[in-house]
Structure 1
Amino acid sequence: MTSDMTGYFAQKTPSFQTPGAAFQSASFAMKYWKMASALPGKLNMGIGAFGRVFTLDPSGQVEPVQGSLTDLPAGIWSRYEVCSFSASADIWFAFDKKTDIDAKVQVIQSEGLAGAFVVSMDLDDFDGNSCTDTNDLHRPYAVTDRVHAQLNTTVNPSV
C-alpha cells in the first residue's frame, strides 16, 4: 500500500523519489511491482484519507499522538481531525494535500495502473467542513472526490 510506507515518524509517502528516500515513494513501489512482472492493469495505488500525527522532543525522540478516535492506533488521525486541530509547536502533522493526491493519480495514469483505492473512506472529511485551507480540499469526502475527479482526466504520460 503506497499510502503509508514511512510510518508515524516520517512525513507522508512522497509521490516521487526524493534524495535519501528513493525506495519510499509511490512511484517506486508501482514501478517495482511492474519490474517484478505484475501486470499494470491489475495494480491499484492506495491513497490515504488519514494523517500521521506525532511529537518530536528536543532530543529527537518521536512519539505518536492519540487522536479522538480511540479505535485507531496512536498516531493515525482522520482527515477531519487533522484539519480541525489547532496548531501546536510540538505536534507534527503529515497528510496528503491536493497536490500530493494529484501527483499520485498522475503516477497511476502514466504507469497504466488499474486505479486507486482510498484508505479509508470513513476517515475522509465526510461533511467538508473541517479542511477549510484554501490550498487544500474542502468539500464532502474531499480525498475520495479528488481521486475520482483526477482519474477521469487525461494526463501527460511523460512522468
Structure 2
Amino acid sequence: MLAAFEQEAKQVNKPRLMITAAVAAGVSTIEAGYQIAELGKYLDYIHVMTYDFYSSSDGRTGENSPLFGGSNSYLSVDYAMNYWKSNGAPAEKLLVGFPTYGHNFNLQNPSNTAVGAPTTGAGPAGPYTKQAGLLAYYEICTFLDSGATQAWDAPQDVPYAYKGSEWVGYDNIKSFNIKADWLKKNNFGGAMVWTIDLDDFTGTFCKQGKYPLITTLKNSLGLQNSSE
C-alpha cells in the first residue's frame, strides 16, 4: 500500500496519501494482534484507543480513560502509550486517544461509591445517546447539575461522580489539560478524539462554550486558531 501511494503521489504530483491505523490499548490485544516495530516502519500515525479501559461488564466501577493506573497499572493511558513506544513504535507517530464520553454503572450498594466498588451492571442510558453504560460529556454535565457528587480520582488523574445508585467515570477540562501536558512531556505525536459529537457541541449543557473538551485539547497543544 505504501509503495502504491508513493507511486500515485509521483503520478499526480501531490503529497502522498497517509497511512494510519487506530489500534488497541489493552496489552493482551496488542500482544495478540500487532507487530509493533513493523507498524512503526510503515504507518504515518498510530492512533491508540486509550479509552474503554473499564466498562459495565467488569462488575465494578472503573475509569474510562485513566491517565495512570490504580490497582491495575496496565489499564491506563500511560502504560498503553509507553508499551507501544517501548516495543518499537516511534513516539512521534503515536497519537493519544481522548474520549468525550464516560462509562456509567449501577452501584450494588449506593453507600459504596469508591473506584472499584461492586456494580450490578450498566448505568441508565442517556436521553440522547440512548445506550446503557455510556454517557456523552454533555449528558454527564446534566447529571452533575442534577445534584451528583463530584470527586477527583487523584491516583489516576480523572474525575468521577455519583448520585443514588448511578456512578460515572469520565474526563473533563481538568483531566484533558493534565493529559495534554503529559503528552507533550513524553514527546508523543499528538492526540485524537473519540468523538466530536459527544462533546458539548452546542455549548448549552455544560456552560463551558462550544466543544469545551476539544477546545481545551486544541489550546493545550497550541492548535487553536485565533479566529475561533
Compute the TM-score of the two structures, normalised by the length of structure 1: 0.82
Alignment gaps of 5+ in structure 2: 1-48, 111-117, 149-162, 224-228
Counterpart residue identity of residue 119, structure 1 = W
Relative to structure 1, is the Cα distance of residues 11 and 17 closer, same or farther in structure 2, using a 3 angstrom cutoff?
closer
Identity level (%): 29
Q: Aligned pair 1:35/2:118, yes or no?
A: no
Aligned residue pairs total 146
Instruction: Give 1:105's aligned residue.
Output: 180
Structure of higher CA gyration radius: 2
Q: Is the 8 A contact 2:109 2:165 kept in 1?
A: no
Q: CA deviation at 1:35?
A: 0.6
Mapped to 2, the partners of 1:123 and 1:116 lie a distance apart of 16
1:101-155 deviations in whole A, cap 9, x for unaligned? 11211222112111111110100001112124xxxxx1100111011000119xx
What secondary structure is seen at the aligned counterpart in 1 of 2:105?
strand
Q: Give the number of the structure with larger relative contact order, counting CA–CA contacts within 8 Å between residues 6 or more apart.
A: 1
Q: Which runs of at least 4 in structure 1 moved beyond 3 Å after TM superposition?
A: none
1:29-63 deviations in whole A, cap 9, x for unaligned? 11110011001111111111012112112293331
Mapped to 1, the partners of 2:94 and 2:197 lie a distance apart of 23
Counterpart residue identity of residue 15, structure 1 = L
Higher mean Cα deviation, 29-38 or 49-58?
49-58
Alignment gaps of 5+ in structure 1: 133-137, 154-159
Q: Which has the higher strand share?
A: 2
Higher mean Cα deviation, 142-151 or 86-95?
86-95
Instruction: Give 1:15's aligned residue.
Output: 67
Compute the TM-score of the two structures, normalised by the length of structure 2: 0.59
Q: Which has the higher helix share?
A: 2
Root mean square deviation of aligned Cα: 2.0
Mapped to 2, the partners of 1:124 and 1:99 lie a distance apart of 15
